[in-house]
Amino acid sequence: MTATGLPLGLPRTRSFLTPFRHDLFLMDLGKGLRQALAKLSGRYVDEAAVTELVKDLQRVLISNDVNVRFVLGWTKKIKERALSEKPLPGVGLREHVVKVVYEELEAFMGNGFEPSLQKQRILLLGLFGVGKTTTAAKLARFYASKGLRVVLVGADVHRPAARTQLKQLSEQAHVAFFTLESNDAVAITREARALSDKYDVVILDSAGRSAFDEELAVELKSVAREFQPDGSFLVVSADAGQVAGRQAKQFHDAVGLSGVIITKMDGSGKGGGALSSVVESGSRIAFLGSGEKLADFRAFDPKKFAATLLGFPDLDQLLETAKAASQEEKLEKAWNEGKLDYETFLSQLNAFKKMGPLKSVMQMLGQHDLPEELVGQSEKKLKSFEAAVHSMTLAERRNPALMKESSRQARVARGAGMKDSDVRELVQQFEKTQKMLKEVKRNKGLLSKLSKQFGGKLGS
């Protein structure tokens, strides 16, 4: 129990948190950013808070190997916008700051990539071990899932097992495979070009090299001449960090890249560096690979990427949630005037539900990385609370004191198909919430109190 006699709130410290489980790229960067933003909850957002946020963001990005000069410029812009722009109507200051960070993160990620679904030949390039062959199969699976006929071509004649590896992957991806029993990469490449007669997408996996040099540039040019690719993609590993940008530039100057595919986003603390340096080099990020499985792959979408990093489904929903959250002020006013009862509370619950999954509401309030179980159960509780309120008479809804009577509780329980003890528990929770809101006149947010009220019961 807290000092106010209320159940303990949702876990606040890191030690209570279970690992964040949803499909996230860049775990550390995302977590760091979300935690920095979460610090804004429950405090007055002024210049000092924004300065602290900016410092936190800098620390998170720099520890993710993002270029320092870039980080300083980026966070300066966030600070300026956060402090000078007027929040949209209905959007609180904290949400405004979150919105600015979101928008700037999206802008920082560069343009998105819309994969063409036309007939095409794709050439994959890259240094040793970056994930070219795996990426070839991921791409094949991607295009095949769009209904295109795909063939993978093994043209890495240097590494003995390379073509066997690609053949196996092609089976996994349910696409065709082609190579020649020859060590003549040029001949294979030439044949591969002709495969366009039979297939929509021809993907060529080329041999790796230990470093970019003049010899490689010459070789790539001859491959490109034979194959006449519609798209040439450089595959770089996220481990490369800021070096990725330099590589992108070298390869681009040699053969002209359509885009860069960054692999191993799941494993590297340097992913932020790889991403930002590729964007800075003027190359476009086309796809991201985030695991060994063929499905761990997606086209790069900065909006979605930023949203996932920050833990918000999308900006529109963020703003909607922020608006709904601002309604809580009205509710508190009613409450302070002694008008709050089960009826008002029910309408608030409905508003609460409309805001979407409780999880995003909680994230909005800065409660990040919640254990799934807790969130799921809290929503279940909300539903049963609603059912109970529906079973109350108008008089009971308007005069909550009536609901203290156990005969009424029993009747409501029957009406709502619940156990008496469940209704009793809900009445107690309502009373605790009511008491709490009376005590906390300062606007720290009804929703966060509610989250704690429901979550706390479960968490204790």
Ligand X SMILES: Nc1nc2c(ncn2[C@@H]2O[C@H](COP(=O)(O)OP(=O)(O)OP(=O)(O)O)[C@@H](O)[C@H]2O)c(=O)[nH]1
Using CB under 5 A as the criterion, which residues of the chain lie in contact with Mg ion when the complex forms?
132-133
CB under 8 Å to 354, separation ≥6 — which residues?
324
Length of the chain: 460
CB of 97 or CB of 155, closer to ligand X: 155
CB of 56 or CB of 296, closer to ligand X: 296
Whole-number minimum distance, CB 126 to ligand X, in Å? 6
State the binding partner of 289 from Mg ion, ligand X, none, CB within 5 to 8 A by kind. ligand X
Q: At what angle do helices 243-255 and 271-280 cross, to 10 degrees?
A: 40
Whole-number minimum distance, CB 214 to ligand X, in Å? 19
CB under 8 Å to 195, separation ≥6 — which residues?
151, 153, 178, 202
List the structure tokens of 391.
Answer: 């079973």
What residue type is 10 in one-letter code? Answer: L
Residue owning tokens 């089976």: 171
Whole-number minimum distance, CB 71 to ligand X, in Å? 25
Residue owning tokens 């949209």: 88
State the binding partner of 130 from ligand X, Mg ion, none, CB within 5 to 8 A by kind. ligand X
Whole-number minimum distance, CB 242 to ligand X, in Å? 19
Q: Return the sign of the alpha-carbon dihedral for residues 39, 101, 71, 291.
A: positive
CB under 8 Å to 14, separation ≥6 — which residues?
none
CB of 219 or CB of 343, closer to ligand X: 219
CB of 159 or CB of 221, closer to ligand X: 159
State the binding partner of 46 from ligand X, Mg ion, none, CB within 5 to 8 A by kind. none
State the binding partner of 301 from Mg ion, ligand X, none, CB within 5 to 8 A by kind. none
Whole-number minimum distance, CB 174 to ligand X, in Å? 18
CB under 8 Å to 376, separation ≥6 — which residues?
none
Bridge-based pairing state of the strands 285-289 and 297-299: antiparallel
Residue 384's Cβ-count burial label (10 Å; 0-12, 13-18, 19+) is: middle
Residue owning tokens 């948190």: 17
What is the Rg, in whole angstroms, of the alpha carbon atoms belonging to the chain?
A: 28
CB of 296 or CB of 386, closer to ligand X: 296
CB under 8 Å to 142, separation ≥6 — which residues?
115, 287, 297, 299
CB of 274 or CB of 374, closer to ligand X: 274
Longest Cα–Cα distance of the chain, Å, equals: 88
CB of 34 or CB of 163, closer to ligand X: 163
State the binding partner of 126 from Mg ion, ligand X, none, CB within 5 to 8 A by kind. ligand X
What is the 3-class SS of 218-229, one letter each residue? HHHHHHHHHHCC
Nearest residue to ligand X on Cβ basis: 208
Residue owning tokens 């995302």: 30
Whole-number minimum distance, CB 266 to ligand X, in Å? 5
Residue owning tokens 């109507």: 89
Whole-number minimum distance, CB 219 to Mg ion, in Å? 15
State the binding partner of 264 from Mg ion, ligand X, none, CB within 5 to 8 A by kind. ligand X
d(CA 12, CA 368): 9
Q: Is 185 helix (H, G, I), strand (E, B) or coil?
A: helix
CB of 278 or CB of 355, closer to ligand X: 278
Looking at the DSSP assignment, which residues form a beta bridge with residue 285? 260
CB of 24 or CB of 389, closer to ligand X: 24
Whole-number minimum distance, CB 139 to ligand X, in Å? 12
d(CA 192, CA 177): 10
CB of 296 or CB of 301, closer to ligand X: 296
Nearest residue to Mg ion on Cβ basis: 133
Angle at 337 between CA 335 and CA 338, to 5 degrees: 65
Whole-number minimum distance, CB 205 to ligand X, in Å? 7
State the binding partner of 16 from ligand X, Mg ion, none, CB within 5 to 8 A by kind. none
Q: Which residues bind ligand X (CB under 6 A)?
A: 126, 128-134, 156, 159, 162, 208, 263-264, 266-267, 289-292, 296
Whole-number minimum distance, CB 160 to ligand X, in Å? 11
